[in-house]
Amino acid sequence: MAFLEFVDVIKEYGAVRVLHGVNLAIEHGEVHALIGENGAGKSTLMKILAGFVAPTSGEVKLESRRLQFSSNTDAERAGIVLIHQEFNLIEDLSIAQNIFLGRELKRGVLLNTQHMNLEAAKALARVGLQLDPRTLVRDLIVPHKQMLEIAKALSRDAKILVMDEPTATLTPVETDVLFEIIAGLKASGVTVVYISHKLDEVKRISDRVSVLRDGHLITTRETASTTQHEMASLMVGRDLEDMYPAKSIPSRKASDVVLELQHFSVPGWAQDIGFGLYRGEILGFGGLVGAGRTELFEALLGLRPRSSGTVLRHGRPIQIHNPRDAAKAGLVYLSEDRKGKGLLVDFLLFQNLTLSNLSSYAKPLLNQNAEQRALEKARDEYGIRTGNLAVAAKMLSGGNQQKLSLAKIMQLEPEVVILDEPTRGVDVGAKREIYFLMSALAAAGKSVIVISSELPELLGVSHRLIVMRQGQIAGVLEAEHLNEQEVIQYATGLKSNLGQHNPVNA
């Protein structure tokens, strides 16, 4: 008999079944990883465990006894604590007030603030934070908020601690602190359920791993005997060999150059950049963080100043002062920070889709039917998955938001599409779909520039790859030179073909 058991758990939201009879057993004192693509049902299953959500049918048993919580407070009393994927902190309260929310320490009828601040400082120290417990949560940086969530959970003396994608917002240093904490918890007999997208983390800290796919529990394996590749294949339900589309190298005659930069410089970020982009080409930009890739393209779009340089479209110089000019010249840019710059997450899907191109839906009044049809078309073409089209963009998973962003910029019918970190925060299945969308754009005669910090994906999709280092082009790789080793050598300065200037072929 397992310590914690899910038995035939079914969850329906309205007519949609999101968990299809999940059976899962978790042993006492193990670190159990739960993986699956966005929307697989991981968070829902754990919210059922922690009393936030009631199952439609089925049950959860702890040491053979059925758990029936009417609220999360009940669950916490029973020692089950969930650290949410979304922050669950109150911004206008202090750190200490958040930690003790709902179970404030009192002296007589008065709050014992001093004691709470002292205890809060101890809780913070446990997660390696040296902060004044009186600090308001709104003044904390995001990784500190995440560590505070963890401190708050630890201060609740959990028997079972569930962490839902805790490292999404953490830096590597904080991630290490967290992993030490998890090891400590395990040593003291706490059972940890760890949800993550990051398979290297799962490999590092879990004893066993369970895979959810489309609301079904696919399998539970010993982590030590499962490779990351196998985990990824189990998540998407097919082998990953076909992750990247086949490449058909475009023609590269001088007349095929659709965009060329000459001696392009961005103060503080890029010096004397020159390259040509061909029709039908996917041109990758690699390099270390801070190499100046994002800044180069922000300057090209007029989003930041440049000091010199010429931009040619089909061989003719053009002036771009802002993204509007760029769009008129057939250039669009999808920024890396999709929530901050790309989508208005509180707005409806169709509003996001048509926002940058409203004039074509106005005749003279906005034609809502046309907008609706455009959204349905985009859903089908870009594989945007959502039960309901009449929702705000924030209701979509990361991958589907990114597909919506792509659909949105394609409304402008560009010839050159510049994508900055297009698959960040996107699950494996959606990544693959985005690669195939990029390939389809290239096949349709568009040109794609892709900036990415994920080397396998850059190598997987690019026809050619420009490696930047410290604001300069360190190397241009193609064919058999498109391999991880060479990219790293150029990115780190071990190898360089700087100084050989040939802008078009560069």
Ligand X SMILES: Nc1ncnc2c1ncn2[C@@H]1O[C@H](COP(=O)(O)OP(=O)(O)O)[C@@H](O)[C@H]1O
List residues binding ligand X (CB under 6 A).
13, 18, 36, 38-44
Smallest distance from ligand X to CB 37, Å: 7
Q: Which CB atom, from 85 or from 367, has the smaller least distance to Mg ion?
A: 85
Residue nearest to Mg ion (CB): 43
CB burial class (10 A; 0-12, 13-18, 19+) of residue 24? Answer: buried
Smallest distance from Mg ion to CB 24, Å: 16
357 interface partner picked from Mg ion, ligand X, none, CB below 5 to 8 A per type: none
What Cα–Cα distance (Å) separates residue 88 from each residue in 152, 193, 320, 474?
A: 10, 18, 43, 45
Smallest distance from Mg ion to CB 8, Å: 21
Q: Which CB atom, from 43 or from 294, has the smaller least distance to Mg ion?
A: 43
402 interface partner picked from Mg ion, ligand X, none, CB below 5 to 8 A per type: none
> Residue 167, interface with Mg ion (CB under 5 A)?
no
d(CA 377, CA 384): 10
> Residue 411, interface with Mg ion (CB under 5 A)?
no
358 interface partner picked from Mg ion, ligand X, none, CB below 5 to 8 A per type: none
311 interface partner picked from Mg ion, ligand X, none, CB below 5 to 8 A per type: none
161 interface partner picked from ligand X, Mg ion, none, CB below 5 to 8 A per type: none
Q: Which CB atom, from 39 or from 422, has the smaller least distance to ligand X?
A: 39
Q: Which CB atom, from 85 or from 453, has the smaller least distance to Mg ion?
A: 85
Residues 6+ apart with CB under 8 A from 10: 17, 19, 20, 21, 22, 55, 56, 57, 58
332 interface partner picked from Mg ion, ligand X, none, CB below 5 to 8 A per type: none
> Residue 43, interface with Mg ion (CB under 5 A)?
yes
Q: b/e for 352-365, b at 16 or more Cβ within 10 A?
A: bbbeebeeebeeee
Q: Which CB atom, from 20 or from 304, has the smaller least distance to Mg ion?
A: 20
38 interface partner picked from ligand X, Mg ion, none, CB below 5 to 8 A per type: ligand X
d(CA 489, CA 376): 45
> Torsions phi, psi of 22, nearest 5?
-85, 130
Residues 6+ apart with CB under 8 A from 413: 330
What one-character-per-residue DSSP string does 433-461 give?
A: HHHHHHHHHHHTT-EEEEE-S-HHHHHHH
> Torsions phi, psi of 364, nearest 5?
-80, -15
d(CA 494, CA 298): 28
Is omega for the bond preceding 456 within 30 degrees of 0, making it cis? Answer: no
Smallest distance from ligand X to CB 88, Å: 15
Tokens of 399: 């991958």
Q: Which CB atom, from 215 or from 287, has the smaller least distance to ligand X?
A: 215
Q: Which CB atom, from 26 or from 467, has the smaller least distance to ligand X?
A: 26
Smallest distance from ligand X to CB 40, Å: 4
Smallest distance from ligand X to CB 36, Å: 5
Hunting for tokens 């790789």 — which residue is that?
Answer: 477
Hunting for tokens 């892709």 — which residue is that?
Answer: 450
18 interface partner picked from ligand X, Mg ion, none, CB below 5 to 8 A per type: ligand X
Residue span binding Mg ion (CB under 5 A) among the ranges 26-34, 40-48, 125-133, 437-445: 40-48
Q: Which CB atom, from 40 or from 343, has the smaller least distance to Mg ion?
A: 40
Of residues 82-121, those binding Mg ion (CB under 5 A): 85
Smallest distance from ligand X to CB 434, Å: 17
d(CA 491, CA 6): 48
Q: Which CB atom, from 57 or from 114, has the smaller least distance to ligand X?
A: 57
Tokens of 380: 């089908």
Tokens of 328: 């008129």
Smallest distance from Mg ion to CB 34, Å: 10
d(CA 54, CA 200): 32
Binding site for Mg ion (CB under 5 A): 43, 85
